[in-house]
Chains A and B, each alone.
Chain A
Amino acid sequence: MRSAVEIADARANKPGHQLYAGRARAIIERASIALRSSTWVPIATGFIEPVLYLLAFGYGMGALIGDISTSAGAIDYTVFIAPGLLATSAMNGAIYDSTWNVFFKLNESKLYQGMLATPLGPLDVALGEIIWALFRGLSYSIAFMLITAPLGLVPSWSALLAIPAAVLIAFGFASFGMAITSYFKTYQQMGLINIALLPMFLFSGSLYPISVYPDWLEFTIKLLPTWHGIELIRDIWFGVIDFSSFSHLSYFIVMIVLGLFFTTRRLRDLFMR
């Protein structure tokens, strides 16, 4: 039986041992224990939101808009928005988990303070919390597929790859969200996050192609992660993989790396002053 000291000493010469104790799984274990005793209602209702959007816009707007012309040809409006909504729900879920949840644990329950008094490092906490959030994102994505497939909205088997892609997108958003949240101290400031996110989501082409915009606006939107996320899922959904799909993919890989770096630094600065 190894003691706490032996376990910590074994890592003493590894690079980055101050930041990472190699135990993100302990944070995940904590989350899974907490889940057992938490109420299922907020989790279950999370599945419903994208489906409601799909029903409302699919039925209601479809009648007004008709088909949409895309690189994959003219497609029914409901089919067009389905992947956009999958991407949106993945991003929204990741943002919720990495902002409001983290805000509570940082400022109200002081949970991270307790974790970081042990040999755990800030990267253990960041990775553990984010990976847990991705489990939730993964289950939402699978549920969305299970609902949309019988409705005939999933064009082919290869569209299943949109599930791991949604998880990747969620990873990008969650890794940044945690760092940004660490700067906020009041609930009112947290409200600003919602105000800032709304235009990012509305303008990023989940509900219609952004080609309707003037050039300058189209260019600006193409810088946003929301647009890259929606396009990536849409490319996979319709099986139109090309150079731009890889650019979306790389966008998120860079976002994840930068976000993790940023979050780890912030946690270290907050708890190692």
Chain B
Amino acid sequence: MPESLISARGLTKKFGDFTAVDGIDFDVAKGESFGLLGPNGAGKSTTMRIIAATSRRTSGTISILGRDPEEHGPQVRAHLGVVPQQDNLDTELTVTENLYIYGRYFGLSKKFVNKKVEELLAFAQLEEKKDVKVEALSGGMKRRLTIARALVSEPDILMLDEPTTGLDPQARHILWDRLFRLKEDGVTLIITTHFMDEAEQLCDRLVVMDKGKIMAEGSPAELIKEYSTREVLEVRFGSDRNKEVAPILREMCDRIEELPDRILLYVEDGELLLEAIAAKKLHPNTSLVRRSSLEDVFLRLTGRSLIE
């Protein structure tokens, strides 16, 4: 394993009686893009805050570049660029001023920051908006600015908490493109998300979290291979008949999941199964063969969907 930037063992965080993070272990290597996938309330954001030295753990150990964030909070934060779930840009300032002053918070020289700001405006594709107050920006622009702001100190690790939640598809793709570039430049990314497509797109390796625990760990392909079949056949018989046919279908595949509106059938070859179903004169209203995704992994591990 290459040099480990972050290493957590038995990491636990309790708020009163509630256990938000429940004894998790993980490592993040240099240059890696590491994802925390899970539904809302799984403990992803709390884990991020502990890494970012803005939350104190209840027990366990964590080291970031060899340092304990509780002992060396400012030094750890100097290595990080933080993109919080909700943009907290400085609404009294313009785009340029936001980038500039954030660099100054790190103690960087005016000369350095001014140069860096130009570079980041180009990176975030906000050159035309540079003298506009941030309130006037669209959601996607604000998000890009927040990411650019986190990069002003040239961090080793960029932490992104739900980076594309609330953005339209086009804005999401622009953002993903920017994040790919950072990955190419060797920045270590830590991303939380409850979107499986985002996790598949951006993460080299991820942990699936639920109720404060890590359920599984691996690359998206490994996880799918280990916890799901190659293909999934989705069939709909209408809400009344779904229940009737389910026992018959159960016999015909590796695994079955009954969802309120449809039935998922896990097999290596979806088309083949569909033909078999048709041969039994069970004609679904609609059918769809697709490849397994992380959504299926999550369903298998927890019995629940990611987005409810």
A and B touch in the complex (CB under 8 A): yes
A→B interface (CB under 8 Å): 1-5, 7-9, 11-12, 17-18, 21, 23, 26, 29-30, 33-34, 37-38, 109-111, 113-121, 271-273
CB of B224, distance to nearest CB on chain A (Å): 34
Q: Which of B54, B75, B102 contacts A116 (CB 8 A)?
A: B54
Overall SS of chain A's interface: loop
Q: Are B88 and A111 touching (Cβ within 8 A)?
A: yes
Q: Which residues of A contact B105 (CB under 8 A)?
A: 23, 26, 115, 118-120
Interface set of B (CB-CB < 8 Å, partner A)? 15, 52-56, 72-75, 77-80, 82, 84, 86, 88-94, 97, 100-102, 104-109, 112, 133, 153-156
A21 contacts which chain B residues (CB < 8 A)?
74, 107
Tell me whether A119 and B74 are in contact in the complex, defined as CB-CB below 8 angstroms, given that A4-B106, A26-B104, A271-B54 are known contacts: yes
CB distance from B19 to the nearest CB of A (A): 15
B79 to chain A, nearest CB (A): 6
Interface pair A119/B133, CB less than 8 Å apart: no
Known A110-B86, A272-B54: A119·B91 in contact at CB below 8 Å: no
Is the pair A117, B90 in contact by a Cβ cutoff of 8 Å? no
B54 close to A117 (CB less than 8 A): yes
Instruction: Assess A113 versus B88: contact at CB under 8 Å? Given A12-B75, A33-B93.
Output: yes
CB pair B93 A9 closer than 8 Å: no
23 contacts between A and B (CB under 8 A): A1-B109, A4-B108, A7-B107, A8-B107, A12-B74, A17-B74, A18-B74, A30-B90, A30-B93, A33-B100, A34-B92, A37-B94, A37-B133, A109-B90, A111-B88, A113-B84, A117-B52, A118-B78, A118-B102, A118-B105, A120-B105, A272-B54, A273-B56
Q: Which 10 A-B pairs have the closest CB atoms?
A: A8-B78, A4-B153, A110-B88, A119-B74, A118-B105, A4-B106, A34-B92, A7-B107, A117-B82, A114-B88
B97 to A, closest residue via Cβ: A33
* Residue in B closest to A115 when the chains form the complex, CB atoms: B105
A249 to B49, CA, bound (A): 42
Q: Shortest distance in angstroms between B81's beta carbon and chain A's nearest beta carbon? A: 9
Secondary structure at the B interface, as helix, strand, loop or mixed, is loop
Task: Compute how far the CA of A94 lies from the CA of B108 in the bound complex, rounded to whole angstroms.
Answer: 30
Enumerate chain A residues within 8 angstroms of B53, measured Cβ to Cβ. 272
Q: Which residue of A lies closest to B109 (CB)?
A: A1
Q: Are A33 and B101 in contact (CB-based, < 8 A)?
A: yes
Write the chain B residue with the least CB distance to A5.
B78
Q: Given A4-B107, A121-B74, list of 16 further CB < 8 A pairs?
A: A4-B78, A4-B79, A5-B75, A5-B79, A7-B106, A7-B107, A11-B74, A21-B74, A110-B86, A113-B84, A114-B90, A117-B82, A119-B73, A119-B107, A272-B53, A273-B54
Contact A273 B55 (CB under 8 A): yes
How far is B74's CA from A239's CA once the two chains are assembled, in angstroms?
48
Which residues from B are CB-within-8-Å of A23? Answer: 105, 107
Complex CA–CA separation, A109 to B112 (angstroms): 27
Chain B residues within 8 Å of A26, by CB: 101, 104-105, 107
* A272 x B104 contact (CB < 8 A): no
* Interchain nearest-CB distance for A87 vs B (Å): 30
Cβ of A1: which chain B residues have Cβ within 8 Å of it?
109, 112
CB distance from A1 to the nearest CB of B (A): 6
Whether B84 and A111, one on each chain, are in contact in the complex, defined by CB atoms closer than 8 angstroms, is no
Complex: how many Å from CA A115 to CA B52?
Answer: 13
Contacts of B86 in A (CB 8 A): 110
| Residues of A contacting B80 in the complex (Cβ-Cβ under 8 angstroms) | 117
Which chain A residue has the least Cβ–Cβ distance from B112? A1
> Among the listed B72, B93, B154, which residue makes an inter-chain contact with A34, where contact means beta carbons less than 8 Å apart?
B93
**Which of A5, A111, A272 has most B Cβ within 10 Å?**
A5
How many angstroms between the C-alpha atoms of A4 and B52 in the bound complex? Answer: 15
A5 contact set on B, CB distance < 8 A:
75, 78-79, 156
CB distance from A113 to the nearest CB of B (A): 5
Least CB distance, B49 to chain A, in whole angstroms: 8
Known: A23-B105, A110-B86. A119 touches B78 (CB 8 A): yes
**Contact partners of A116 in chain B: CB under 8 A:** 54
A163–B97 alpha-carbon span in the complex (Å):
33
Bound complex: CA of A116 vs CA of B156, how far in Å? 18
* B92 partner residues in chain A, CB cutoff 8 A: 34, 37-38, 109
Query: With the chains together, A118 CA to B149 CA distance in Å?
Result: 11
Q: List, in ascending order, chain A residues with CB within 8 A of B55's CB.
A: 272-273
Selected from A7, A17, A111, A271, the residue in CB contact (under 8 A) with B90 is A111
Hey, which chain B residues are within 8 Å of A29, CB to CB? 101, 104
**What residue in chain B is nearest A34 (Cβ atoms)?**
B92
- Expressed in whole angstroms, the Cα–Cα distance for A17 and B190 within the complex equals 26
Q: What is the bound-complex CA distance between A117 and B80, given in angstroms?
A: 9
Give every chain A residue within 8 A of B108 (Cβ-Cβ). 2-4, 7
Q: How far is the CA of A120 from the CA of B73 in the complex (A)?
A: 9
